[in-house]
Amino acid sequence: MGFDLAMPDLAMPEAATPNPAVTVSADSAETPDTLESFVSAANEGYKYGFVTDIEADEAEPGLTEDTVRFISAKKGEPEWLLSWRLKAFQRWQQMSDPQWAKLKIAPIDFQGACYYSAPKQNAGPKSLDEVDPELLKTYEKLGIPLGERAALAGVAVDAVFDSVSVATTYKEKLGELGIIFCSFGEAVREHGDLVRKYLGSVVPQGDNFFAALNSAVFSDGSFVYVPPGVRCPMELSTYFRINAAKTGQFERTLLIADKGSHVSYLEGCTAPQRDENQLHAAVVELIALEDAEIKYSTVQNWYPGDAEGRGGIYNFVTKRGACRGDRAKISWAQVETGSAITWKYPSCLLEGDHSVGAFYSVAITNNRQQADTGTKMIHIGRNTSSTVISKGISAGRGQNTYRGQIKVMPKAEDARNFTQCDSLLIGKSCGAHTVPYIDVRNPTARVEHEATTSKISEDQMFYCQQRGLPQEDALSLIVNGFCKEVLKELPMEFAVEAQKLLAVSLEGSVG
């Protein structure tokens, strides 16, 4: 391709999932208040990750070529994948973690982390009685069924919630249509050719620091292939493979929609997941061939840390989709309410003529959360079009940044983009930032960007209260109204839960 995808200052990584422990070097002179908590949370991670004698199922802490070889060997991978990982590792060694986002991040000690740990049956709480009551209260508010609450809280799932059999049922039904939906590891074993053909074809190993790290040490993830002309009859969801989700903080997702096919994929769940891992660096690659359509929806509600900013997930995600054929369509929808730090830019490479990209996002930061999120729409083919709708909500001491790039390449005749990003501020101590990059190299393009920043008006709150709605309900109603254009892009059942989630996320931000 004739341009640099990495775009040095705007490499915009993306990715999200769990695994071993990460420590943080405490030698920084100006120690952010999150640092201590970060270290202690990481130490807790050690508690789960290691026993006094290092078991054979765990890699030595630290990241060397041997670690990569160890992981690959443990997973019984073919030679090509090992060398792919090693190449990524070499690239990663030459990179440094990017500094351009508007995020305050305690330095991360990548050599202190453990990069492979087999899922442990006895690592989590043994029953709901051992789970943090606050977490359970949230599940109740969200209306999560009892059985699922245990699963989400990390209680050994099989005993309570038979996700395996559920997944199996669907798998058979999908199999009849030729749809492959399995763990990444299984895909490597069973569908190696497909994986080899597409892995890294959208997010190359050296794309950015976190993508390179993921490429070297990714643990597992999901694989989807939809054959030509097939319309996937149901929403595919990671929900059905809760066990698999526990396999790693370096998750890898690869989704291929062959010609004329159609698939909707749901990622994450609406309840906060118990997770002792601090750093998540996942990679998601989507490939839509001619006339194919992919809709990828995410509700991210990782642990955001407490009100003082202690703990919480660092979420660095590289998500990118390629519209690789004419009239292909990729649509990202995300509701980001969790994580202490969110850093993700689900993007579209609009390569095919008449291909279409969309990004719909709601991001909430409350308490001390920080989010730097947005998208890249790269117009390469003719008559490509993209739509970006972003709604950022800042409350408490939260900092919310929209960062997006619209790039129209010289050959992208008649490209169209419309971007709207609105920010809502709740309270005096939060921040809302809008950083759009528009780069146009073709005169037939039409690119429009609009943004507004406002607060919730007292008049709106009073109007709702005068009609009898309690303050928190009024706030939730107004915020949901603010996000409506995005929420309507989510699959129906997801949207309902997302609405509740918005309300829960904003608790304590008024009054």
Partner 1 sequence: MTISEQVAPFVRAFRTAPGISDEPEWLCAHRDASIRHFAATGFPTRSAESWRFTDLRPLTASPILPAPDAVPNASERALADPPPSDPPPSELSVPTHRIILVNGRFIPRLSRIGALPPGVWLGSTADTVKARPGLIAAAFDASEIVGSQPFAALNAAFFADGFVLALEPGAVLETPIEVIHLGRTDTPVAFHLRNAIIAGSGSRATVIESTEGSGPGWTNAVTAITVDADASLRHIRIQNDGSEAIHTALTRATLARGARYENFALTLGARLSRQDIQVALSGEGASVALNGAYLLRGEQEATFAPHVDHQAPGCRTDEVLKGVMQDHAHGVFLGTIAVRPGADQTDARQLNRNLLLSPWAHVDTKPELEILADDVKCSHGATVGSLDEAALFYLQARGLDETTARHMLIEAFAADVIDTAALGDILSAPLRRHLRDWLGQVGGAA
Partner 2 sequence: MSNLLEIHDLRARTLGGRDILKGINLTIAPGEVHAIMGPNGAGKSTLSSVLAGKPGYEVTGGSVLYQGRDLLALPADARAREGIFLAFQYPVEIPGVNNTYFLRAALNAGRRHRGEPELDAAQFLKAVKEKLKLLDISSDLLQRPVNVGFSGGEKKRNEIFQMAMLEPRLAVLDETDSGLDIDALRVVSNGVNRLRDPQRAIVMITHYQRLLDYIVPDHVHVLSDGRIVASGDKTLAATLEQTGYAHLDSAAA
Contacts to partner 2 by CB under 8 A:
457-460, 462-471, 473-474, 477-478, 480-485
| H or E segment and range at residue 466 | helix 458-466
Least Å distance, CB 416 to partner 2, is 24
Binding partner of residue 465 among partner 2, partner 1, none, CB under 5 to 8 Å per kind? partner 2
Binding partner of residue 426 among partner 2, partner 1, none, CB under 5 to 8 Å per kind? partner 1
What is the DSSP annotation of 276-299? ---EEEEEEEEEE-TT-EEEEEEE
> What CA–CA distance (Å, rounded) separates 510 from 493?
28
> What CA–CA distance (Å, rounded) separates 367 from 137?
19
Least Å distance, CB 452 to partner 2, is 11
Cβ-based nearer residue to partner 2, 22 or 474: 474
Binding partner of residue 193 among partner 2, partner 1, none, CB under 5 to 8 Å per kind? none
Cβ-based nearer residue to partner 1, 120 or 433: 433
Cβ-based nearer residue to partner 1, 164 or 438: 438
Cβ-based nearer residue to partner 1, 76 or 443: 443
509: CB partners within 8 A, 6+ apart: 366, 395, 396, 426, 427, 475
Binding partner of residue 55 among partner 2, partner 1, none, CB under 5 to 8 Å per kind? none
Binding partner of residue 440 among partner 2, partner 1, none, CB under 5 to 8 Å per kind? partner 1
Least Å distance, CB 503 to partner 2, is 12
Cβ-based nearer residue to partner 2, 296 or 482: 482
Least Å distance, CB 458 to partner 2, is 6
> What CA–CA distance (Å, rounded) separates 45 from 109?
14
Least Å distance, CB 465 to partner 2, is 4
> Under DSSP, is residue 329 helix (H, G, I), strand (E, B) or coil?
strand
The tokens of 13 are what?
């990584």
Four-CA torsion 280, 349, 391, 432, nearest 10 degrees: 70
Cβ-based nearer residue to partner 1, 80 or 462: 462
What is the DSSP annotation of 386-446? EEEEEEEEEETT-EEEEEEEEEE-TT-TT-EEEEEEEEEEESSS-EEEEEEEEEE--TT-E
Binding partner of residue 133 among partner 2, partner 1, none, CB under 5 to 8 Å per kind? none
Residue 60 neighbours by CB distance under 10 Å: 13
> What CA–CA distance (Å, rounded) separates 453 from 435?
13
Enumerate binding residues for partner 1 (CB under 8 A). Answer: 8-9, 100, 408, 410, 423, 425-455
Cβ-based nearer residue to partner 1, 194 or 451: 451
Binding partner of residue 466 among partner 2, partner 1, none, CB under 5 to 8 Å per kind? partner 2
Side-chain-side CA neighbours of residue 109 (13 Å): 19
29: left (phi over 0), alpha (psi -120 to 50) or beta: alpha
Binding partner of residue 460 among partner 2, partner 1, none, CB under 5 to 8 Å per kind? partner 2
DSSP code for 208:
S
Least Å distance, CB 425 to partner 1, is 4
Cβ-based nearer residue to partner 1, 332 or 402: 402
Least Å distance, CB 284 to partner 2, is 29
| H or E segment and range at residue 474 | helix 471-482
Least Å distance, CB 267 to partner 1, is 30
